[in-house]
Amino acid sequence: MNLYDLREMPVNFELYESLQRGNAHLWNVKDKVGATWKSRIRSRGGYWTAECLLNDTLDTQEKWFQEALMREIRLTVGGQTVWRGFNAEMELRRHGEVFRRWWGDLHNRVKAYYTRIAENLFTNGSVESGTWTSYGTPTTNEQSTTWKTHGVYSCHLVADEDDDGATIQTGITVVADKRYDCSVQVNIISGTWRMGIYQVGGAAIDVTTQEGPAQCKMSASIPEDSAYAGDILVRIFTESATGEIYCDEASFREAPVSAETSYYEDADSQVEYGVLEEALLEAGMSDAAANAKAYTTLRESAWPRAKTPNEGLIKGQDGLTVTFYGYVFTLRNKFSLLSAAEAASTLVTNVLGEAAYVSAGIIETNSMIYQVEDRGPMRGWEVIKEVVEAGDASGGRWTGGVYADRLFNYQAAANELIGHWRGGELYHMAGGLLEPWYALPGNVYMDDMPLGPADLNGIYADNPRVAFIEEVEFDAAAWLKDGHGLKFRQEASGE
């Protein structure tokens, strides 16, 4: 039975233009979204997510789908804000098809982190354009198809005395204080063989030895602290009197190093949606490939794109589903530049100083020293979330989230009750039912729980009859049906 009319719900649903477009008030959309509204608030996040169906004409739904991304909504009761966020996702159902737009797909400032793979400085490492130059007087130095690991040929060497073999290449120029790695795939039939890097006309830099029979990779390198700069040569030759070997896939290149591209940016998109950063974490790539991928990703994600279903038609009623995110999600827009170990509260303040849409509100002092993980890029919210979840040096719980006026509050969890849970209802401390739109996370006393030992220290967190509620949910449809519009969870429901 429907006990309430939508007009009796004292909550207003005020729609505003996006922050980037000036945040002007548009209209009250209570009659459009209020009947299906669900919103959540977390102790670690603040105003979190909400969703609803847009009850309006087909034309209005389609216009909303095209234009409303990042518009803001504020729930107010008597002038007090009880939830605030922005339009982050929309699903438009039409004739069995679902079209989707999501703020999380937008990136207008993109870079790539990768392991740089340098060019192979051997021009004939796989022996495809001819055999290598003989060193000494090997009995056989030929291209062979009998054994190979790359391409069509390998180099087949047969030696009948010491120091017979082949020079893979000479005249390669190296610079000081840079590491170079050299390798060659070998199949040693007999004898003991050496592969060495030498200064042209000078001393050996590195030599490796391998006894046969063996099928393996022989490797040598120029260390990073080498002072030598100039030309080098690489050769492979016998150490014993006789020997036979097949060689292929020789490589000489700068050692792989961690690298990153500069940012690729779309200024027009940033004017419309703010700065939305993305960092691509790639494996081994050349500089050119990494830069190309970063730029391609920017071009594909700087502006909203409607996504169609991957599979056939989906049964269901036509309409528009809208999902709102609290402004804490905008702390994911940028990667934090912080890396130093700092007091937790100082770190939170500094991360908020990098944010575009969120400012510091109440920041209580927490002197616990926190070291930011800096081996890879971390978004601002990732840093703050880990700090909040770490608590303090005394094992105390801390809360942190974005609330009214887009202010982030960071505080020790209050040692107080927000209400009593009794008979399936939450009552505020004055004794009356707590209206679901006013509910916030915190300690709830479970009146109906069987009696047992109480806490001995006056801390509610240690009382077995007290539960800390991490997430509360206001369900307007449930309130309109029977007045039961409040749900709460001790653990957050997904991310």
* Domain-located, residue 495: no
Distance in angstroms (rounded) separating the CA atoms of residues 469 and 482: 23
Alpha-carbon distance of 446 to 466, in angstroms, equals: 6
Same domain assignment for residues 144 and 95: no
Is 124 contained in some domain?
no
Pairing of strands 38-42, 471-475: antiparallel
The DSSP output letter for 104 is: G
pLDDT tens string 177-225: 999 999 999 999 999 999 999 999 889 999 999 998 999 999 999 999 9
Helix, strand, or coil (residue 359): strand
Domain count along the chain: 4
CA distance 16 to 1: 34
347-396 pLDDT per residue, tens? 999 999 999 999 999 999 999 999 887 777 889 999 999 999 999 999 89
In a domain, 199, yes or no: yes
User: Is there a single domain that holds both residue 340 and residue 309?
Assistant: no
DSSP, res 436: G
Burial tier of 460 (Cβ tally within 10 Å: 0-12, 13-18, 19+) = buried
User: Cβ atoms within 10 A of the Cβ of 403, count?
Assistant: 21
Q: Is residue 341 in a domain?
A: yes
State pLDDT tens for residues 130-180. Answer: 999 999 999 999 999 999 999 999 999 999 898 999 999 999 999 999 999
Task: Tell me, yes or no, whether 276 lies in a domain.
Answer: yes
- Say whether both 393 and 357 belong to one domain: yes
pTM, to two decimals: 0.80
341 and 475 fall within a common domain:
yes
The domain that holds 172 is classified in CATH as 2.60.120.260
Q: What is the DSSP string of 129-193?
A: SSPPEEES--SEEEEESSS-SSSS-EEEEEESSTT-EEEEEEEEEE-TT--EEEEEEEEEEESEE
433: DSSP letter: B
Q: What angle do CA 265, 267, 271 make, to 5 degrees?
A: 135
Residues 39, 152, single domain; the answer is: no
Q: Is the pLDDT of residue 226 over 80?
A: yes
Tell me: do 154 and 208 sit in the same domain. yes
**Of the candidates 481, 476, 483, 480, which has an alpha carbon nearest to the alpha carbon of residue 36?**
476
Whether residue 126 is contained in a domain is answered as no
Residues 365 and 423 in one domain: yes
Domain assignment of residue 99, given as a range? 6-105+304-328
Question: How many CB atoms are located within 10 Å of the residue 491 CB?
Answer: 8
